[in-house]
Structure 1
Amino acid sequence: MAQSRLERIGTIYSRVSSLIKGGAMKPEDRPLWFDLYTAFPPKVEPRYDRVAPNIPVRDIFYKEDPIRAKFHREHGRLTMNLQSHGTQSQTQKFLHVYNELAKSGIPESEVYEKAVEKWTQENIEAKSARSSQQSETTTDKPRDSVEKPTIVISDIFKELDNK
């Protein structure tokens, strides 16, 4: 036989429970989901031959989604540093600016353009502040005077031997 028919024999739950009962799998080696499934079984058994219900998929849109889409169409790819915690993405910053201007009573036809201008200005100011801050830190200590850590490999192995 070229293919497996295991999915037709039973559900994954029935197969795992049979393995445990038969001794092929130890009870302590059972998967994490097994106890949850036993405690809270589904209303309808998940089988390969069950027909999927014909339920229409609802569109989930937030009020800022059209604005976000327009922003990304015009400004393309925007990068974000995922390692820094607590920072907002450029899109979040833009939406914050947009919402502030929308609350201030500016006509809706002008809000987007003014938000783009304000967002661009804030980015320019932030970049100049970062570059001036970096230039201050680099002028304080020349690169040659920065102390580099000294690592002795033999000390590492001595620590490992002591453990």
Structure 2
Amino acid sequence: MAGSRLERFGTVFSRVRDLMRSRVIKPHEKPIWYDVYMAFPPKRDPLYVKQHTRPCINEQETVPEIFYGEDEVRAFIVKYAELKSHSELTDSALFEETAKALLKDGIILRRRGLLAVEESRDPVFDLKLKDMLAEQHSVDTQTAQT
């Protein structure tokens, strides 16, 4: 049996000794270490001691939460349906209320095509290329005349 070959059912020495006694292993086939072990046996026989460990009941494994983009969409749909069933707002107002409710829960939504950060209203951004070229041309003509 394979289970009886484990060290917990006897040492390697005792198994080899018993195989030699039963003449399964012939005296000229005995291992090299057998005579050394017979001459200098250990003070204590090696024993197989199975460590009995109980799983720790108080310790809980912490699994990190993983959020995907689909989770935000799913949360929006659930919250949208919940608010729609309780109120009679228009779709755009209902969208805004859903976004506010999700913002309280820590989920930030933004509409497609809109920037997440508002641009500063600098007058340079409002200028167009033609206006800039016309202004530059007028400045060049004034400096050439003077």
* TM-score normalised over the length of structure 2: 0.31
- Structure with greater helix share of residues: 1
Q: Which has the larger radius of gyration?
A: 2
